[in-house]
Amino acid sequence: MPELPEVETIRRQLAPHVEGRTLNRVEILDGRWSVGRPPEDLVDAVQGRKVEQLGRRGKYFIFELTDDVYLLVHLRMTGNLLLDPAPDTPYQRVIFTLDDGQILRFCDPRRFGTGELALGPEGLEEFFAGKLGIEPLSDDFDGRALRKLAKNRRAPIKAFLLDQRHIAGVGNIYADEALHRAGIHPLRPAGQLTLTQCAALADAVKLVLAAGIDAGGSTIDDFRHPDGVSGAFQNDFLVHLRKGEPCHTCGTTVIKLVAAGRGTYVCESCQPRPRVRRRP
């Protein structure tokens, strides 16, 4: 699933092409893409409006349109936004035709991606309330903020990081990489982290997300830039997908386990497994 770096990479590449442009025509080819209202209602709400700004919140694209209309697009597992691809590009679900003739196609083989509508700033705030937590690249996210969020949480820290209600945009890849850099085992209960560990983890999250953006994201299966080019951060993984290989830090073999229902990669030398506390 595309995570924050992949979404931000696409946003940065698309913004110069779509900001200031009008959505002359919007064709929803798959009714499942439109969530919460019939496809024709969504088309009526956005077609003919200018894109004032293309923003991002967590893993959502925010198409800010005239008159405070917001189109919220999520790629989910296999979605891609491609600019001017071949007309016969497979798995097309939505086609946006801009007033300068450029065409933006939402392609998604598994059909999990979505488009939703929010009306007015209050509607946008209400949409994200309860869905998304703190933005990890913001100045508000640091060790103290993380410790406050994790206080009394019994869930493993890997599960905590993946819960978008706590931290917006961090997914499986970047959670593994951040935990390794912070020296924290993914099964350690979130509430047991010290302030020092929280500070190290917050710094590591920021570091891997920024590195992912600089590398144009990670391409493992389906992710592509709007021009069809792949990301490159997968070449810099320290643990993710490296089961059976030596840890780049200490040489110990990287193992794979399950945390939060997700395949999780860890070096248990650099990231000591938490002790099981026995009841007296």
Mind listing the pLDDT tens digit for each residue in 234-270?
A: 777 999 999 999 999 999 999 999 998 999 999 999 9
Known catalytic residue at 64: no
For residue 92, the Cα-to-chain-centroid distance in whole angstroms is: 21
Report residue 233's pLDDT band, with 50, 70 and 90 as the boundaries.
Answer: confident
Predicted confidence (pLDDT) per residue in 110-129, tens digit: 999 999 999 999 999 999 99
Least confident of 33-42, 197-206, 219-228: 219-228
Known catalytic residue at 262: yes
pLDDT(104) > 60: yes
For residue 204, the Cα-to-chain-centroid distance in whole angstroms is: 16
Among candidate residues 2, 85, 156, 226, the one labeled active-site is: 2
Give percent above pLDDT 70 in the chain: 93
For the entire predicted model, the pTM comes to: 0.91
Among candidate residues 19, 262, 268, 274, the one labeled active-site is: 262
Report residue 228's pLDDT band, with 50, 70 and 90 as the boundaries.
Answer: low
Q: Which domains does the chain have, with CATH numbers?
A: 4-128 (3.20.190.10), 143-266 (1.10.8.50)
Known catalytic residue at 148: no
Known catalytic residue at 3: yes
pLDDT(134) > 80: yes
Phi-psi bin for 82: left (phi > 0), alpha (psi -120 to 50), beta? beta
Residue 235's pLDDT is 78
For the chain, what's the residue count? 280
Residue 215's pLDDT is 87
The continuous run of DSSP H or E covering 15 comes out as helix 4-18
DSSP annotation of 230: -
Residue 216's pLDDT is 79
The continuous run of DSSP H or E covering 116 comes out as strand 114-119
Q: Work out the end-to-end distance of the chain between its first and last CA atoms, rounded to an integer number of angstroms.
A: 43
Average predicted confidence (pLDDT) for the chain? 93
Residues 6+ apart with CB under 8 A from 182: 197, 200, 201, 203, 204
C-alpha to C-alpha distance for 171 and 164, rounded to whole angstroms: 9
Q: What is the mean pLDDT of residues 82-99?
A: 96
Residue 279's pLDDT is 60
Among candidate residues 3, 6, 64, 177, the one labeled active-site is: 3
Residue 280's pLDDT is 54
Residues 6+ apart with CB under 8 A from 106: 33, 73, 79, 80, 81, 92, 93, 94, 95, 96, 113, 115
Percentages helix, strand, coil for the chain, rounded to the nearest 5?
30, 25, 45
Residue 169's pLDDT is 94
pLDDT(230) > 90: no
pLDDT(217) > 80: no
Matching residue, tokens 């939505």: 94
Residue 275's pLDDT is 82
Q: Which of 199, 156, 155, 204 is nearest to 179 (CA)?
A: 204
CB 105 within 8 A of CB 82: yes
- Residue 215's alpha-carbon distances to 111, 211, 223, in angstroms, are 27, 6, 13
Residue 231's pLDDT is 63
Among candidate residues 21, 56, 57, 59, the one labeled active-site is: 59
State the Cα angle at 235 between 134 and 203, rounded to 5°: 30
